[in-house]
Structures are given as structure tokens and as C-alpha cells.
Amino acid sequence: MKALIVLFFLSSFIAAKESVYTPSSADTKVVTKLTSFSYDGREVPLKIYLPASKKPVPLILLSHGLGGSRKVGAYLGEQWARAGYVVVAMQHVGSDESVWKDVPPLQRKRALTKAASVQTFLARMKDVPATLDQLEKWNVEKNHLLEKRMDMDHIGIGGHSYGAVTTQALAGQQFGPMGPAYLDKRIDAGFAMSPSIPRKGGDAKKAFGKIAIPMLLMTGTKDGNFITKAPPESRRGVFAALPASDKKAKTLHYQLVFKDAEHGAFSDHKLPGEDTRNPNHHRAIKAISTAFWDSALKNNAKASDWLNGKSPTTYLAKGDLWQKK
């Protein structure tokens, strides 16, 4: 009987240990640096997160939401850098914190809504490839902080809200007769938190049905959109429209829906007017996104097995939804 009890606890310990995702290249130290560059007279502020390792590692671009900055998403920048990635957080002038900082509190929502325009979207579409062009130069610039630090053959992009819209477009979203107008073929995987379907009744299947790179999507059952007024459940339409993986190939696309999570659940801090945050959300976001990057950008078989097994669900609470296809 005692032997059975010992065996039960041992097997439970092993299962619990296997369910926790630990990157094989985890570092303890992360170096951060604020910098910027300019193209066509436009400045792009950056925050760079560097792992301790000096060898070339995959690159992840991070795009902030409406009203954010290069400092937003630090909990992810630090997590991914510790896991062995160079992370570059971009600041998109015109849809960044400058939109609301000097505006009276009662007028800030209106200012943010106005900033979600065609002009700021197009600016973001130029910022990303311009940033990649600049990083390619720094990667070969002698004595630069980033010299030989990035594996430019393995690049991911992630973002929240407007940053998710940016991610979708660069990943290959179709824009009617324009097709995948903003696709950047240098990008190998995308992570969209609070993704958005096309406005004004656009066809999600046509918009996302031809995206060919791996995608990880996350949202919440209370993750509304105050710009488009679309209900929280509309955000799930992006995953539903993504193409199914070839049965002989590995799973390409994943979606996590947190029960009761609001829009700010994916940001560093609770947004005004939102309820108490669930600390487990960030724990799950960090673990699952890291496994996704390891699978998609490092071709790590253990990460793929972890994602496609039952382990991700051990990070979730009752009512959360984990999907893959």
C-alpha cells in the first residue's frame, strides 16, 4: 500500500513538472536599452531587450496598442529575452502615448478614437519594415550593441489591440482587391492579443484564410472594442477564419480565450474602469507565448509537443478555452 502511495505522488510530481514550460535556453539576466532611428523624416523610438547570450538568436518585434509606447509589454519583453530572443519594442508615433498625455481626462477617449485612423494605420505599416531594415544594418555594424546578436532568418511579431491589428497585417491579412498589401515575408510567426476582424462587415475568411505563417491568438470573454464597438466574441473570428493545418504537418494556429478577461488583461497594468485583474492570466500568457515562439522560430520539437499536448491547459482556469488547428 505504501509503495502505491509513493508511486502515486511520484507520478503526480512528474506530470506537474512536465506541465510547466521552461525554455531550454533560459537566461537569468536581461539587458534593456532605449534608442531610436529615423526614416523618411519619421522617428521610431525603440526599447531593446537582450538576453545574456552573445550568440545570434531569433528576433521578436513588439507593437503596442493605441496610446501605448515602447515601454508597454515589458513583462513579455523580459520573459522572451530570458528565453533566448532579442526583443525590439517599437513606438508608433501618432498612435502612441502622445495622443492622450496632454489631453484633459474627459477628452482622452475621444482623442484615442480619433487617432485610430487610416493615416496612423498606414504609418504603422511602414514602421515595421523600416525597423527590420534598420535592425539588419545594426546586425552587421561593427561595435554596435546589436552586432551579430540577431538571427534575421527567424523573426516573429507580436502585439496587443492596435498592435494585434499591425501583427495581422504584416502576417498576410488580405485587404480586398489589394490582397496581402502589407505582408513582410521576413516575418515567420505572429502573436496577436485582442485581435480584430475586418471593420464594416468585411469577410473574415477572405481576410485571414490565406495566412501561411503560425499564429497565436489570445482574447477574453469581456475583451470589448471601444473603437469599433464590436462585441468581445467578435475577436474570436480571426482564429475561426485562419486556414486549417495540413494533417501531415504540425499544428500552425492556436487560440486562448480567458474567461472574464477584459482588454487590459494583456497589458502591463489594469486599464481605467476595468475590474480586478487575474494574476494567472500573465502567468499563462508568458508560458504559452514562449512555447509558441520556441516552436515556430527555433523549431523546438519539445516546445511543439508541449503546445500540442495537455500541458497548456494546466495553466488555465475553469471556463478558459484553449484551441488549436
pLDDT at 10: 35
In a domain? residue 94 = yes
**Range with the lowest mean pLDDT among 8-22, 54-68, 106-120, 286-300?**
8-22
Residue 7 belongs to a domain = no
Q: Which residue has the higher pLDDT, 296 or 250?
A: 296
User: CA nearest 166: which of 194, 205, 137, 134?
Assistant: 194
pLDDT confidence of residue 141? 98
Q: Is residue 156 part of a domain?
A: yes
Percent residues over pLDDT 90 in the chain? 76
Q: Classify residue 3: in a domain, yes or no.
A: no
Calculate the alpha carbon distances from 29 to 130, 156, 325 in Å: 29, 22, 35
Domains: count for the chain: 1
pLDDT at 14 over 70: no
Q: What is the CATH number of the domain that holds 94?
A: 3.40.50.1820
Q: Whole-angstrom Cα distance, residue 277 to residue 292?
A: 24
Q: What is the mean pLDDT of the chain?
A: 91
Q: Is residue 308 exposed (0-12), middle (13-18) or buried (19+ Cβ within 10 Å)?
A: middle
pLDDT, residue 249, reads 67
Give the confidence band of 164 by pLDDT, cuts at 50, 70, 90.
very high
Sign of CA dihedral 129, 26, 245, 209: negative
pLDDT digits 0-9 by tens, 89-100: 999 999 999 898
The predicted model gives 238-244 an average pLDDT of 96
Q: Tell me whether residue 97 is in a domain.
A: yes
The percentage of residues in the chain with a pLDDT greater than 70, rounded to a whole number, is 93
pLDDT of residue 255: 98
What global pTM score does this model have?
Answer: 0.92
Cα three-residue angle 63-64-66, rounded to 5 degrees: 130
Is there a domain that residue 228 lies in?
Answer: yes
pLDDT over threshold 90, residue 2: no
For residue 316, the enclosing domain spans 24-324
Distances (CA, A) of 28 to 23, 51, 53, 85, 189: 12, 8, 10, 13, 25
The residue that leads in pLDDT, 111 or 119, is: 119
Q: Residue 103 domain-assigned?
A: yes
pLDDT in tens, 267-280: 998 777 777 789 99
Domain-embedded: residue 8? no
Give the model's confidence band at 248: pLDDT under 50 very low, under 70 low, under 90 confident, else very high: low
Q: What pLDDT does residue 101 have?
A: 85
Can you tell me the distance from the alpha carbon of 258 to that of 316, in angstroms, rounded to the nearest whole number?
Answer: 8
Residue 5 reports pLDDT greater than 50: no
**What is the average pLDDT across 45-51?**
97
